[in-house]
Structure 1
Amino acid sequence: MRSSSIVLAALAGLASSQQTNETWVDTGDTLRLSTDTTFHFQLLNLLGMATYRGADVAEVLGAAQVIVPGNFSSYNNTFAELATRKQAQASVAKNKVNARDTFFQAAAYWRDADFFNHGNQSDPIIDEYWTNQLECFTAANSALPVPGEYVTIPTASNFSAIGIFYAADSDTSTEKPTLLVGNGYDASQEDSYHSSCVAALERGWNCMTYEGPGQPTVRRQQKIGFISEWEKVVTPVVDYLANRTDVDMDRLALSGISFGGYLAARAAAFEPRIKALLLNPGVVTVQDGFLGQLPSQFQDLFHSGNKSAFDAIVLAIVSNSSMPSSLRWGIEHGLWAFDTESPSEFLVTTGAMNMTGLFDRLTMPIWLANGTRDDVLSQSLDFVEQVGNTTNVTLVTFDGPEGYHCQPGAASSTNREMFEWLETVFE
């Protein structure tokens, strides 16, 4: 069968087996922000950032009202208009706190304006919108009581890690517990400030965010896609922390969020200076998680080794606006983040991203989040089974409205659980 025939047959099967345009099918008790489940998830995630000054509730709800479900341009344009307005308001604000909070919101809206915009990797908006968000975030950061320190950390590989260190206070002579936070597939370290660092700072912890290959800033500035050997990113960052006078290296915790659940676990397996590991969720194998988003016939085609046919089918999905948003966005962003034009190459690369043979190296206490409605990377239970010393593992289950992937909209609950556990580990 010719590739074109395979494409048509597979797309027909997808259309008949799944609801196109991602019509709402969830049975949970969270208020629907869009009939498109992918849009709903992203809007809920942004809405949740209001807890830590990353958004305004009314503005996000207003955007949700006008965004056309399944229409990427509608989503992007709505937030670009909102971000433009908020940036203008921040720029003329006379009060320092007013300017800071409004710049933080503008930065978050610029990030969302870019979120569904990676289908055309040469589109200048990918860099333009990111420049805008960095400008806004930097302006907000400079108005914090203790501004975060931007650092570029050279590595032994062909890239530099990019990080921001937020000190708990201005005392640089006293060592303090420190949380090192890494995201995964799509979120930025600027997102991490709102989801993790504000909570850490409020509790007297330092917090450092970082990015490596494939992640938003490094991918844009250094043109490098994801790598599997994430210790090449984290170990140089830990070296940086070890040289600071305000970091207690005996109380250093590493957090990995989403796909970062693999990245952090991989890095911790090779970095003994990590004294506590928090994974939200635990990830055993990245490829299984990504392939699991595709219909079974697509998975069979990938495993058959027919790369040209697989690529043709997957790229046809991307160009078909009636296909589910989760598939279209997941493919588009994956190709951009892994710096490739080939879906099969993207997925082959993820094959090396697994924890096989590394679990016995995880000797530090481990905290795992398990979302009962996580349909993205729901591997925490498998992770627990693979870890040899299960007495060293704490599994926290999030259910109901908090049960989605990485608990969007429930950051305060997540941080409560994390820091209660950290207090116990380091008491």
Structure 2
Amino acid sequence: MLSLIHSLCPTVLAAVTLLGVANAQGQAPLLPLSNDSSISFELLVSLGEAIYGGADIAPILGAALDITPGNFSGFSNTFRILADATKAAAQDPTNAYDLINVRDTWFSASDYYRRADFYLHSNWSDPLIYTYWQEQTAAFDNGIAALPVPGKRIQISADNFTIEAIWFATSLEDTKKPTLILGTGYDNAQEDLYHTLVVPALARGYNCLTYEGPGQPSVVRGQHLGFIPEWERVVTPIVDYLLTDLAPQVDASRLALLGYSFGGYLAARAAAFEPRLSAVLLDGGVWDFYSGIIKQIPANLQDLYTSGNKSAFDAAVLGILNDDTAPSTARWGLAQGLWSFQLTSPYDFINATKAYALKDVASQIQMPVWIANSEYDGYFPGQAQVVAAAIGENAVVHNFTGVAGNHCQIGANQELSRTVFAWLHQTLNN
């Protein structure tokens, strides 16, 4: 997402790369699925979720063959066709005897509808943004309803907004279990977290609650609210809910919070104000959102931004949204930033990111903290170590390298889960 800023003037278009493709440390060993690095990365997201029942492999590889680099509408339509066909298979009465297969088919349909939505956010009035999300939600709900312990959507009241969450329990009985709160970040949905970390968590005996707050998919669509920096306003009501409404099932002494992607900032910020957490995991560490962005802006546009000439800066930046010659990462990243912050001005968006920094609160984090440092993560390179140093002796950094070294270990979910749960086991059981 930060790489989008490279594209804001023609002289640097060629320098824009997919996050994780290149940074000061060299070339990441990506497995290309498209000549378009952004599309390749998004295809790898679905492939990564396949190992935990979130998709099927051959259909995604087949879709990759039909997608033209840079063609966002074509990408969306290809996955819509795949999603519709997968939904029809889930509804086929001849398959009803096999509830496990039908459940997994619904999960795949949900994933494909989420991919169909991914590149649509430059036009907020596009009805498909809502149609595809309704489809993915309904498909996912059919899947979690067929789990051995059905998942349950819940709404948690916060101050002036509602948190959308899903509860996954290991048992139908009232037995206190370690519980993991899982939040995503800049763009992914809580449904993606099920196929990334919830499945391996349940297998290891953890209850899970996934959630979305302002700026995240269901809250943006349902409540039209963009991100807020004070993420304790989201997490504290969740902890209250878990320790009251779900108290018979939650071991309060083993309550962990994980922030995924930009959620690395969100979870750390919340942890500074929520002492009831037993442990926090940041994948990865985000020290300062603004500094990560501003360093990517070419000098001439930095000067334009710092001059305060909002109209000129906005005009220069907004020109890429409908420019098919601009790199896909740039077009998507800008559109997603405006959508998820619910802002129409790039100037205002960059200004808003200044509030997302840990320097004034990191020292307040008192529980054990695990921080992922991905070798080829182009979002916030080097910031994991800064976060760890500011937290102090409670923090540990885990370095992911090689093919697991891309942002959030996309496509290496087994390595992510075994690393996360090894640390949690040691931390929560000592």
Q: Same fold (TM over 0.5)?
A: yes
Matched, 1:235 2:224: no
| Map of 2:415 onto structure 1 | 413
Shift of 1:299: 3.0
Per-residue CA shift, 1:293-339, capped at 9, x if unaligned? 44343233222221111111110011211111111101101111111
Shift of 1:292: 4.0
Q: Paired residue for 1:273, among 264, 273, 276?
A: 276
Distance 1:340 1:261, change over 3 A: same
Shift of 1:344: 1.1
| Map of 2:65 onto structure 1 | 65
Alignment of 1:60-139 (within 5 A): 60-92=60-92, 93-94=95-96, 95-139=98-142
Per the alignment, in what secondary structure is the counterpart of residue 209 of structure 1?
A: strand
Per the alignment, in what secondary structure is the counterpart of residue 406 of structure 1?
A: helix
Per-residue CA shift, 1:149-208, capped at 9, x if unaligned? 1110111x2101010110011112x21000000000000010011101001000000011
Would the aligned equivalents of 1:10 and 1:297 in 2 still touch at CA under 8 Å?
A: no
Matched, 1:199 2:197: no
Alignment of 1:5-20 (within 5 A): 11-15=9-13, 18=15
Per the alignment, in what secondary structure is the counterpart of residue 210 of structure 1?
A: strand
Would the aligned equivalents of 2:80 and 2:113 in 1 still touch at CA under 8 Å?
A: yes
| Map of 2:336 onto structure 1 | 333
Q: Higher RCO, 1 or 2 (CA under 8 Å, sep at least 6)?
A: 2
Matched, 1:323 2:326: yes
C-alpha distance in structure 2 between counterparts of 1:226 and 1:395, whole Å: 27
| Map of 1:426 onto structure 2 | 428
- The one-letter code sitting in structure 2 at the alignment partner of 1:229 is E
- The one-letter code sitting in structure 2 at the alignment partner of 1:18 is A
C-alpha distance in structure 2 between counterparts of 1:153 and 1:21, whole Å: 36
Would the aligned equivalents of 1:259 and 1:377 in 2 still touch at CA under 8 Å?
A: no
Structure 1 residues 302-311 or 26-35, which shifts more? 26-35
Q: Paired residue for 2:293, among 290, 293, 308?
A: 290
Alignment of 1:154-165 (within 5 A): 154-155=157-158, 157-165=159-167
Q: Paired residue for 1:367, among 366, 370, 388?
A: 370
Shift of 1:21: 10
Matched, 1:385 2:383: no
C-alpha distance in structure 1 between counterparts of 2:49 and 2:81, whole Å: 19
Q: CA RMSD in A?
A: 1.7
Per-residue CA shift, 1:328-373, capped at 9, x if unaligned? 1011011111111111111211111111211111110000101010
> Which structure 2 residue ranges, 5 or more long, are not aligned?
1-6
Per the alignment, in what secondary structure is the counterpart of residue 186 of structure 1?
A: coil
Per the alignment, in what secondary structure is the counterpart of residue 317 of structure 1?
A: coil
Shift of 1:20: 9.0
Alignment of 1:337-356 (within 5 A): 337-356=340-359
C-alpha distance in structure 2 between counterparts of 1:111 and 1:288, whole Å: 30
C-alpha distance in structure 2 between counterparts of 1:348 and 1:139, whole Å: 41
| Map of 2:30 onto structure 1 | 30
| Map of 1:5 onto structure 2 | none
Per the alignment, in what secondary structure is the counterpart of residue 318 of structure 1?
A: coil
| Map of 1:44 onto structure 2 | 44
Per the alignment, in what secondary structure is the counterpart of residue 52 of structure 1?
A: coil
Distance 1:74 1:37, change over 3 A: same
C-alpha distance in structure 1 between counterparts of 2:18 and 2:365, whole Å: 41
Would the aligned equivalents of 2:113 and 2:136 in 1 still touch at CA under 8 Å?
A: yes
| Map of 2:3 onto structure 1 | none
| Percentage of pairs with the same residue | 46
TM-score, length basis structure 2: 0.93
- The one-letter code sitting in structure 2 at the alignment partner of 1:42 is E
Distance 1:238 1:10, change over 3 A: closer
Per the alignment, in what secondary structure is the counterpart of residue 356 of structure 1?
A: coil
Distance 1:65 1:270, change over 3 A: same
Distance 1:293 1:190, change over 3 A: farther
C-alpha distance in structure 1 between counterparts of 2:294 and 2:8, whole Å: 15
Would the aligned equivalents of 1:177 and 1:205 in 2 still touch at CA under 8 Å?
A: yes
Matched, 1:168 2:165: no
| Map of 1:225 onto structure 2 | 226
C-alpha distance in structure 2 between counterparts of 1:85 and 1:68, whole Å: 21
Per the alignment, in what secondary structure is the counterpart of residue 353 of structure 1?
A: coil
Would the aligned equivalents of 2:178 and 2:206 in 1 still touch at CA under 8 Å?
A: yes
Distance 1:300 1:85, change over 3 A: same
C-alpha distance in structure 2 between counterparts of 1:206 and 1:10, whole Å: 44
Per the alignment, in what secondary structure is the counterpart of residue 210 of structure 2?
A: strand
C-alpha distance in structure 2 between counterparts of 1:153 and 1:203, whole Å: 26
Would the aligned equivalents of 2:28 and 2:406 in 1 still touch at CA under 8 Å?
A: no
Would the aligned equivalents of 1:84 and 1:106 in 2 still touch at CA under 8 Å?
A: yes
Distance 1:137 1:32, change over 3 A: same
